[in-house]
Structure 1
Amino acid sequence: MNAKIMTRLTVFAVAGALLGGCATQQGTNTAVGTGTGAAVGAGLGAIFGGGKGAAIGAAAGAAAGGIVGYNWTAIHNKLTGATKGTGAQVTEQPDGSLKVNIPSSISFATDSYAIMPSFQPVLDTVAQTLQQNPELIAQVIGYTDSTGSQQYNMTLSQNRAQSVVTFLNQRGVLPARLTAQGMGPSNPIADNNTDAGRAQNRRVEIYLRATAQHGQTPQYQ
């Protein structure tokens, strides 16, 4: 096997290894992805196109690498600021999404799917974030506690999720970028045998993800 073929095989092997490792935490995804893409692109370009090929390959590789990850730092900070003091939490997820967890204390009254005034500023910020970042989509998931029938809770949680989607749509976010899902009492995060636990379980979760991540299953927590 000649040296040129060996070089090609080496670059392809490195490319696979590097691209496979691009899914780091969101804060560094874009930098890592872009840097890796540029390096791999330059290597491939040098093999197949000489010096000019290396430059072109680096640029193309950087663009492709940037798609692998998404830099959530600015968005995370903005949403954290908007939810400060509300009890809502903004967390990065293993699947590459950003989750906004909104407790029942600011979102919906008992047995209601009308959005409370205290919830609106948070949703306004989410809507602004989506408008300013057209590459993002949002999945809204509603939950209840275990009190009442399964059917009632499923309907209530779906209506609550849909209320959020309708609100975001009214703020200018296209319906195609929004989905609503009611999960009823599924996936509790606290003990349904206590008042405090039930209050935690009555929540709305909004998952923001880059378009390239669309279709991935959210990591319910």
Structure 2
Amino acid sequence: MNKNSLRACALVLTAAAMLAGCQTQQGTNTAVGTGVGAAVGAGLGNLIGGNTTGTLIGAAVGAAAGGATGYNWSAIKNTLGGHTAGTGTTISEQPDGSLKVAVPSDVTFDTGRADIKPNFRAVLNDVAASLNQNPGVTANIVGHTDSTGGDRINIPLSQNRASNVIQYLNSRGIAMNRMSGTGVGSSQPVASDATAAGRAQNRRVEILLHAPRG
């Protein structure tokens, strides 16, 4: 490793340490992930590129990946567990570092409707509480349907469902600029539409929570 590469690595590790020092307790894992990602990325970049540019590019990529996958979701998981137990709702960390809350159809909406059911309000109240407690976290709401009725019906229906979730969260104090939504109809099934049980699994809402950047 030449002198330029050594200096670049030192700069990267210093920046990572500074990032770690300015994180909140909730984001401790993000800071650690960012620092480790930067360090590993710097090493790989230097090995691949053999120069300062390669080192810095590797560090930037590593820091982004480390920050995304290192966020500490445990407090939010605990809050969301209040009204999701026994509903079939699943809460899982995704490869991109987001937290997915998947709520099944028997909790969310009646068949062919976009009106939020009472049990779903309780789940959404927990989501809103989590977002209020963690102002850097953003949410993407995705509405899904089964294949019954075709895209002409299902795409607008799934869009309306996502929109109604956003409106409800906004009524609970979540700013609109922290949320986005889309309806994908039946294009992303998680089970076979050939059975009633499979169709029920496909009629769902997914709330993807994204960690703050930077």
Unaligned ranges ≥5, structure 2 = 17-26, 41-62
Structure 2 residue 8 is matched with structure 1 residue 12: yes
2:185 is aligned to 184
**Residues 30-39 or 174-183, more deviating:** 30-39
Aligned position for 2:157: 156
2:162 is equivalent to residue 146 of structure 1: no
Matching residue of 1:85: 86
Residue 71 of structure 2 aligns to a residue whose secondary structure is coil
Match of 2:71 in 1: 70
**CA distance 1:37–1:149, shift in 2 (3 Å):** closer
In the other structure, the counterpart of 1:53 is: none
What's the counterpart of residue 56 of structure 2? none
**What is the identity, as a one-letter code, of the residue corresponding to 1:98?**
L
- Cα offset, 1:106, TM superposition: 0.6
Shift of 1:33: 2.7
Query: RMSD over aligned Cα, in angstroms?
Result: 3.2
AA at the equivalent of 1:32: V
SS of residue paired to 1:181: strand
DSSP 3-state at the match of 1:134: coil
Give TM-score, length-normalised by structure 2: 0.73
Q: TM-score under structure 1 normalisation?
A: 0.71
Given the superposition, is the C-alpha separation of residues 39 and 13 from structure 1 closer, same or farther in structure 2, using an over 3 Å criterion?
closer
Deviation, 1:200, is 0.1
Residues 80 and 89 in structure 1, CA contact (< 8 A), matched pair in contact too? no
Gaps of 5+ in 1: 20-26, 41-63, 214-221
Change (3 A) 1:212 1:108: same
Identical aligned residues as a percent: 51
Describe the superposition over 1:35-92 as per-residue Cα deviations: whole angstroms up to 9, x where unpaired. Answer: 548989xxxxxxxxxxxxxxxxxxxxxxx89955421111122213431111100000
**1:39-118 matches, cutoff 5 A:** 69-118=70-119
Task: Quote the residue 2:124 is aligned against.
Answer: 123
CA deviation string 1:13-41 (max 9, x = no partner): 4748xx7xxxxxxx98426336548989x
| Cα contact 2:31–2:67 (8 A) shared by 1 | no
Structure 1: 4+ residue segments shifted above 4 A = 5-8, 13-16, 37-40, 64-68
User: Which is greater in Rg?
Assistant: 1
- SS of the counterpart of 1:212? coil
